[in-house]
Amino acid sequence: MNYGPLVFLAAFFALAGSWFGLVLTPQVQVGRLQQTNSVPGGATYPVARPGLAREGLDVYRANGCAYCHSQQVGQTGTVCDVVLNEIGTNPPALFAALGKLKGMSEPQARQLVSGLPKTILAGKAKEEADAATKALNAAGAKAQVWIVAVGPDISRPGWGVRRSVAEDFLFDYPVMLGSQRIGPDLANVGVRLPDPNWHLLHLYAPQAMIKGSIMAPYPYLFEKRKIERFPSPDALVLPPQMAAEPGFEVIPTPQAKALAAYLVSLRADIPLFSAPVTVASASAPASTNAPAGATNAPPTNAPAK
């Protein structure tokens, strides 16, 4: 019997199935994703990176930064905190409510409400947090439920406030999520380290900026040159032991500047429907109808330069 055509058909349908499932369907689902709006806030998200940062993405790609740095934050779950913003009009009732919620005496409750806003309950389920907020608000106080992402990545200082979602990468080409964490995750490096000059110094001499760093220096992204009449305003301000010899200065190349601009443009901290989180700007008094933190300017548009 001749099984040749059978083998061919078997392999054809197996691969066609996988192609349909993991190429075509993702393309239909996430390949056609459009801009979305932040929730709350309603600002358009994401906005395209500014031109220099877009050029920086190519420097990031060409030098293979993604082989050491991931750009995706994970979270293991979402919890709710209850934040008390104002004591309100009826302190005795509030203390009673707090006493009931947390099982504390009145003096303890009185001490608790000093220095508001303050997190009263942390790490609760949505229903529990809602009930607590309702009880506190019934006592005349102004309390609010905060949605908080949790997980090892989120707990790392500056790594991010929520998980990365497909929307974060909408306008990038190529999308470089990275597969290794030899260095720290960079999904929110622009939030954590918003100063491009810091990044330039770090690219030139990583160990001078972060003690014990194992990152390679990138001297070819800089140019050491003789100071002509005046020192260049672009010249790096290096610590004494790293400084160029007298009469010389270190100037970042356009590539280095673009890369730094790209790095500070990396921020995925906007609350979205698919990754809800309460960010600090939303802590404005919840008593008005205006969505918290709503301004005309999209929050990510301005590079922190």
Partner 1 sequence: MTKAAAPAVPDEISASCRVPLLVLFTSAALWLVIGSAFGLIASIKFHAPAFLAACPWLTYGRVHPAWLSSVLYGFCVQAGLGVTLWLFARLGRAPLAQSWLVILGAVTWNLGVTLGVLGILGGDSTGFETLEMPAYGALLVFIGYLLVGISATLTLHQRRERPLYVSQWYLLAALFWFPWIYSTADLLLLKFPVRGVAQAVIAWWFADNFLTVWLALVGLAAAFYFVPKLVQRELHNYYLALFTFWSLILFASWAGIPSTAPVPAWMPTVSTIATALTLLPILAVALNFHHTLENTYSKLASGQTLPFVAFGVCGFLVAGVMRIFGAFFDFHQQLHFSWFEPARQFLNFYGFFVMVMFGAIYYILPQLVGFNLPSPKLARLHFWLAGSGVLLLVLPLAVGGVFQATQLENPAIPVTDIAHLTLSFLRVSTLGDVLVLAGHLILLGNLIALTVRFYRSQAVTAYSEATADLFKTSEVKP
Q: Which of residues 5-44 bind partner 1 (CB under 8 A)?
A: 7-8, 10-12, 14-15, 17-19, 21-23, 26-27, 29-33
Site for partner 1 in 173-202 (CB under 8 A): 173-177, 179-184
Interface with partner 1 by CB under 8 A: which range of 37-45, 91-99, 121-129, 213-221?
A: 213-221
Site for partner 1 in 217-246 (CB under 8 A): 217-220
Are 267 and 53 in contact by the 8 Å Cβ rule? The answer is no
Residue 63 as a binder of partner 1 (CB under 8 A): the answer is: yes
Residue 112 as a binder of partner 1 (CB under 8 A): the answer is: no
Site for partner 1 in 68-87 (CB under 8 A): 68, 70, 72, 74
| Pairwise CA distance, residues 38 & 274, whole Å | 10
Distance of CA 304 to the CA centre of its chain: 14
Least Å distance between CB 248 and partner 1? 16
Site for partner 1 in 117-176 (CB under 8 A): 152, 155-157, 163-176
DSSP letter (8 states) at residue 21: I
| Pairwise CA distance, residues 255 & 207, whole Å | 21
Q: Which residue has the tokens 């003789």?
A: 226
Nearest CA among 31, 26, 46 for reference residue 272 = 46
- Please select the residue that binds partner 1; options are 61, 110, 224, 305, rule is CB under 8 A: 61
| Pairwise CA distance, residues 49 & 31, whole Å | 19
- Please select the residue that binds partner 1; options are 125, 138, 216, 237, rule is CB under 8 A: 216
Site for partner 1 in 275-304 (CB under 8 A): none
Alpha helices in the chain (DSSP H): 4-19, 25-29, 51-62, 91-102, 106-112, 126-138, 152-155, 189-192, 196-204, 206-209, 254-264
- Please select the residue that binds partner 1; options are 1, 115, 229, 288, rule is CB under 8 A: 1
Residue with smaller CB distance to partner 1, 10 or 125: 10
Least Å distance between CB 61 and partner 1? 4
| Pairwise CA distance, residues 111 & 86, whole Å | 14
| Residue 272 identity (one-letter amino acid) | L
Residue 4 as a binder of partner 1 (CB under 8 A): the answer is: yes
